[in-house]
Amino acid sequence: MCNYPCGHIHREKIMQSLSIKADPRWFQIIFQSLFLIYGIFILKWEAGWLHYTISIFGCLAINYSTESIKHRKFLPLSGKNGFYIWGFSIFISAMSLCLLLKTNHWYISLLAAFLTVVSKYLFRINQKHIFNPSAFGIVVTVFLTGEAWLSPGQWGTGTVLMFAVITFGFIVVTRVQKLDVSLAFLLTYAGLLFWRQVIYLQWPLDFFIHSVSTGSLLLFTFFMISDPRTTPNHPAARIVWGMLIASAAFYLSAFQWKYNTPIWMLIVAAPLVPVIDRLFKGKTFQWTETNLQFRFILKIKSIVMRPFMKKTAALLMLVAMLSHEAWAFCGFYVARADGALKNKTSQVILVRDGNKTVITMSNDYKGDARDFALVVPVPVVLKKSDIKVVDAGIFQRLNDYSKPRLVEYYDQNPCAPYRKAEDAVAKSLQGAIPGIQLENKPSADSEEYKVKVEAQYTVGEYDIIILSAEESSGLKKWLDINGYKIPGGAEEVLDPYIKSNLKFFVVKVNLEEKDKIGTKQLRPIQIRFDSPKFMLPIRLGMANADGEQDMIVYAFTRNGRVEAINYRTVSLPTAKNVPLFIKENFGSFYTNLFQHQWNKEGRGVVFLEYAWDVSPSNYVKCDPCVSEPPNWNDMKEAGIWWMDKNKFDDYVNEFDPGHSNVFFTRLHVRYNRKSFPQDLVFQSTPNKDNYQVRYIVTHPAPGNFDCEKGKKYLKTLKERRQNEMEMLSYLTGKGYNDWDAAASTSAGEMPAEADYRAIAPADMAPVYKKAGTIIFAAISLAGIALLVIRKKK
């Protein structure tokens, strides 16, 4: 009689005998396709289908034509003498264009496809491409056109498990012997980041984990730099080459604040490959079919089940789940011992062009002015001319213009066709977004704390000190002695900023100047500086923030939309029809919608609420408009210097046709320490697509509906209201009974079957469900593996 081991051994023999023979490129295409599906349907990428279609079919068509000309005949469309020759490799390159490149123009997509294909034939030595085709197409297109960009934040960090599982499976099952270059790059890059971020700057571990767990980095590591046709032939040379690219990419990103540096360095380092191949002889790679044997699962099992590996895996999982409890604005508020200041919501205006940045910080502090103080890290020592106070009304005007809005429409009674339809009415979200707050009391200086007062100014009603420090403990003591009470968690964040050579912009109220000016409310402070760093240091504000924080960012550029590069930038659902009773509950509706969508998207996201070209030459600045668009004076008040030829002459070129271009982006960030381990880092993109958050309520037509069209209208109305209830559930996660629905009875003439109350019972549960964060293919692979290696007890 056979005991447990018999069945176990039998399964192992079956697994060892199973194998599939296939070209390894099939697996790469499959996994890239899954990534694209995940991005489109789960992460909701905004790039249109036209971009994906042209990228794929453009590459295939151009490469087919080129290969047919090369062979002087039309090649078969399929088979080893057809698709295997002209389609396999270029399809992989086309998928990389879909996954990495962003553009709003079809001709830019076509240009990228053309450059990708042409690079394979123009730049060759010894039957090898010099450049990775897709990397060449992407880099040259971005560089030449200014109408394409890379979006490293589009993957977020929640997809790391998906990438790890699928990439690991891809490497193992296809036996692509280029794992050495991938690991050399990743380990070098991650090691240098760990040294700088954790050891030198002393950021918490979650800061580092966020940096290395981005999908864009892992995609580059396993699907681009590992391209066997563009890497050195010799194994040792590949390792050195990968380390070289990683080191250069790290330097440019960490010290020069350049973005997307790995792909740029891959192109720069590509011409070295022929030289390396000449110096270090190795076997030239050729694509051949490989056996996919399930025996590898048993090998994985034997490794994973070892006690040491069990403990190591558990430790890694624990590290990955570690998060620090804390909570933020660009700086933190300091207070006297009896103060109780906490950041809740802040508003910031960002103006960016080239390396020049203007930041305006709102202030709705309501306490005693003697207790107010603010500390903000800045990249340079500011001059007095770089600091000014502005009218607080600028924030209210920008908020009123760009905040989410409700649009009303009115049905016309089909039985009374001559009744004039009422015009649509637009209403914005009620209530202004709260501002920021802080506190203080200072005056003193001491070299023993290694703190240097770089500059002192009085600007408006504020006394301003620019500090530099050598260590966080000394800065903290200096601030304490000078009357500033530092929040308990601030020292942890101060040290990395100090070691990053940032200065500290310290503000308090000058009571005499305040009385002279006669202002009751403290006005916003505006600063300007030149720096390659386009960021908001929100981590410092988490030191005295209480729970989750909200920040509204009003960003102005010449080029197009502003987006985060280290977090996903997500557009909120817009132009959706919602029930009529939302009109009376719009503020509550949007609050619930934002919270629901924030939870649904994994919390570590930046939401887009508005994007529009507000240049003077563009006459349509909203649709519909709920308040006046920003005028010339508003733009000047916000700090847009290129609109004024009398100031900042070095940035104004009257012969530049774009000198009056202004694009406005409104971003809404809800954050805490767990979801946002890093400061917000932005980039200006050439994306000029207009966007606004708007919701629609439609009033039913009054009167009787005895005519045939009226009966059809009632049937359509009931279906529409059902759809509105389902949409409400999708947007907010709440149903009819969660709202004050008194307004649903406003149309007293409506038949009972068309009333929301008759429809509501079918709407008690949200109709749309959030898909899992792990792509179905990864789940399938993991499930199969677990079933096979499950140990029978």
Task: Give the tens place of pLDDT for each residue, 389-442.
Answer: 999 999 999 999 999 999 988 888 888 765 444 445 555 554 333 322 323 334
Q: Enter the pTM of the model.
A: 0.85
Selected residue with higher pLDDT from 561 and 643: 561
Kindly report which listed range (93-97, 247-251, 328-332, 338-342) carries the lowest average pLDDT score: 338-342
Cα torsion 435, 684, 245, 537 to 10°: value is: -10
Between CA 352 and CA 287 the distance in angstroms is 48
**Encoded tokens for 646:** 């009398």
Is 327's pLDDT higher than 60? no
Q: What is the pLDDT of residue 264?
A: 95
pLDDT given for residue 175 in this prediction: 52
Contact 693, 610 (CB under 8 A): yes
pLDDT of residue 790: 42
pLDDT reported for residue 424: 52
Token pair of 280 as six digits = 């270090």
Please name the residues in contact with 283: beta carbons below 8 A apart, sequence gap of 6 or more.
Answer: 233
Instruction: With a cut of 80, say whether residue 500 has pLDDT above it.
Output: yes
Banded pLDDT at 251 (limits 50, 70, 90): very high
Whole-number pLDDT of residue 180: 83
To the nearest whole percent, how much of the chain has pLDDT over 90? Answer: 39
**Are the C-beta atoms of 498 and 471 separated by less than 8 Å?**
yes
pLDDT at 102: 94
* φ and ψ at residue 515, rounded to 5 degrees: -70, -35
Q: Confidence band (pLDDT; 50, 70, 90) for 784? A: very low
Where do the H-state alpha helices sit in 520-584? 538-541
Q: Give the span between the Cα atoms of 174 and 194, in whole angstroms.
A: 31
pLDDT of residue 519: 79
Residue 352 pLDDT class (50, 70, 90 cuts) = very high
User: pLDDT-based confidence at 171, cuts 50/70/90?
Assistant: low
513 or 243, which is more confident? 243
Q: Is a pLDDT exceeding 60 seen at residue 329?
A: no
- Backbone φ and ψ of 332, nearest 5°: -125, 155
Instruction: Grade residue 301 by pLDDT with cuts at 50, 70 and 90.
Output: very low
Does the pLDDT of residue 496 top 70, yes or no? yes
Strand partners, 453: 467
Q: Where do the H-state alpha helices sit in 146-255?
A: 160-174, 179-194, 205-212, 215-223, 235-255
What was the pLDDT predicted at 162?
A: 56
Give me the pLDDT at residue 688, please: 93
Choose the weakest-confidence range: 184-193, 473-482, 486-495.
486-495
What confidence tens digit (pLDDT) does each residue in 42-61 have?
888 877 789 999 999 999 99
Dihedral sign of CA atoms 472, 478, 484, 488 in order: positive
Helical pair 24-37 and 88-100, crossing angle rounded to 10 deg: 20
Cβ neighbours around 340 below 10 Å, total:
9
Q: Please compute the mean of the pLDDT values over residues 206-210 and round it to a whole number.
A: 90
- Looking at residues 330-339, what average pLDDT do you find? 46
pLDDT digits 0-9 by tens, 82-130: 788 888 889 999 999 999 999 999 999 999 999 999 999 999 888 788 9
Q: Is residue 589 scored above 80 in pLDDT?
A: yes
| pLDDT above 50 (res 774) | no
pLDDT of residue 226 exceeding 90, the answer is no
- How far apart CA 583 and CA 408 sit, in angstroms, is 9
Q: β-pairing, 605-613 with 568-571? A: parallel
Nearest to 219 by CA among 325, 124, 95: 95
- Residues ≥6 apart with Cβ < 8 Å to 222: 163, 167, 170, 171, 182
At 652, the amino acid letter reads V
pLDDT at 601 over 80: yes
| Residue pLDDT, tens place only, 439-456 | 333 444 456 678 899 999
- Nearest-5° angle of CA 46, CA 49, CA 54? 125
> What is the Cα–Cα distance from 404 to 432, expressed in whole angstroms?
11
pLDDT at 306 over 70: no
User: E strands within 248-386?
Assistant: 290-293, 332-333, 343-353, 356-361, 373-378
* Mean pLDDT over each residue of the chain, to the nearest integer: 79
pLDDT for position 111: 97
Residue-level pLDDT at 159: 55
**End-to-end Cα spacing for the chain:** 18
Q: What's residue 89's pLDDT?
A: 86
* Dihedral over Cα of 491, 497, 500, 503: its sign: negative
Compute the C-alpha angle 355/358/361, nearest 5°: 145
Question: pLDDT band at residue 286, thresholds of 50, 70 and 90?
Answer: low
Taking residues 636-642, what's their average pLDDT? 93
CATH code, residues 19-293: 1.10.3430
- pLDDT at residue 305, rounded to an integer: 47
How far CA 513 is from CA of 322, 385, 506, in Å, comes to: 48, 18, 17
Q: How confident is the model at residue 311 (pLDDT cuts 50, 70, 90)?
A: very low
Task: Give the full edge-to-edge strand order of the sheet including 576-577.
Answer: 425-428, 405-410, 694-699, 576-577
Tokens of 763: 């709407």
Q: Which of 556-560, 614-618, 774-778 has the lowest mean pLDDT?
A: 774-778
The DSSP secondary-structure symbol of 603 reads: S
Per-domain residue ranges of the chain: 19-293, 332-409+429-435+518-567+604-694, 695-763
Q: Is the pLDDT of residue 748 over 60?
A: no
156 alpha carbon, distance to own chain's centre: 6
pLDDT in the model for residue 366: 65
- Answer whether residue 298 shows pLDDT above 90: no
Buried b (16+ CB within 10 A) or exposed e, 135-158: bbbbbbbbeebebbbbbbbbbbbb
Mean pLDDT value of segment 323-346: 46
Answer whether residue 243 shows pLDDT above 90: yes
According to the per-residue pLDDT averaged within each range, which of 322-331, 489-498, 522-531, 621-630 is highest? 522-531
What residues does 680 pair with on adjacent strands? 536
H or E element, residue 714: helix 708-732
Q: Are 399 and 432 in contact, with CB atoms under 8 Å apart?
A: yes
Q: Is it the case that residue 619 has pLDDT exceeding 90? A: no
Model confidence over 700-747: pLDDT tens digits?
888 888 888 888 888 888 889 889 999 999 999 887 777 766 444 444
> If DSSP codes are grouped into helix, strand and coil, which group holds residue 332?
strand
Residue among 501, 531, 539, 516 nearest 679 (CA): 539
Closest by alpha carbon to 236, among 190, 284, 176, 277?
277
What per-residue confidence (pLDDT) applies to 421?
A: 43
Q: Which residues contact 791 (CB under 8 A, 6 or more apart)?
A: 305
- Better pLDDT: 570 or 520: 570
pLDDT band at residue 557 under the 50/70/90 scheme: very high
- pLDDT at position 521 is 81
Mean pLDDT on 180-191: 91
